[in-house]
Amino acid sequence: MTGRFTQAASTNTVLLDRFKSCRLQTEKICAPLEVEDYVPQPIPEVSPPKWHLAHSTWFFEQFLLVPFNSDYKVYDQDFAYLFNSYYNNAGDRVLRPNRGLMSRPPVIEVMAYRNYVTNAVLELLEKEERNSQISEIVELGINHEQQHQELLVYDIKYILGNQPTFPKYGDSFGTKAEKTIEEWLEVSEGIKQIGFAGDGFSYDNELGKHRVFLEPYSISKKPCDQC
Ligand SMILES: [Fe+2]
């Protein structure tokens, strides 16, 4: 899967704000967790929250800061090995089923790594205001991190759902009965248009626009209060 752009990326100020709010959102999703919740990997398909936090950060370091800022100092040389996923051209990596074995670096260091990289990206964006190549990579990095936000929500649910005491992920996940009707979107059956068409960023697997038949359904307007 690759990203594509049909128009210049957002203006620098808009992009800078979107980048900041994306980074904060990832941390907000994890805020209700206890520190021990950041590490387990109950099945290979579920990645630990700590890994998501670091991997989405490594993406900006590897593909933006290293190639576009000659003064940038890599936070920790081991992190590329620990937090690469499937980017073969970026080197070897810890195998996916082993992500939950990593008790180090501790969560506190991963959060420091996030701050370090976030600040370095903001500085670069301020300095390189008109560099469209940089803007496109930041846009891709934001979209990549947003994918990991979605993964985080369901991985956290899986991790907590595998605890013997079924701890709650804060008070933010309500069932339909617990939520007021205004929080639910009712969708009638029929032929709907799906797929991306238009300007701006999309992934290639979101193309092209086409019709599908959907049964009636209702869906919460947001997955949780953290989202
Ligand atoms: Fe990723």
- What structural domains does the chain harbor? 3-161 (1.20.120), 184-226 (no CATH)
Whether the per-residue pLDDT at 21 is higher than 90: the answer is yes
For the chain, what is the mean pLDDT? Answer: 91
Smallest CA-to-CA distance from 6 within 142, 207, 198, 210 is with 198
Contacts of 201 (CB under 8 A, 6+ apart): 3, 4, 5, 9, 139, 140, 143
Residue scoring higher pLDDT (178 or 208):
208
**143 Cα: distance to centroid of ligand 1 (angstroms):** 10
Contacts of 155 (CB under 8 A, 6+ apart): 46, 47, 48, 49, 52
Instruction: Report pLDDT for 5.
Output: 65
Query: What confidence tier does 61 reach under pLDDT thresholds 50, 70, 90?
Result: very high
**55 Cα: distance to centroid of ligand 1 (angstroms):** 7
Residues by chain with Cβ below 5 Å of ion ligand 1: 85
Whether the per-residue pLDDT at 226 is higher than 70: the answer is no
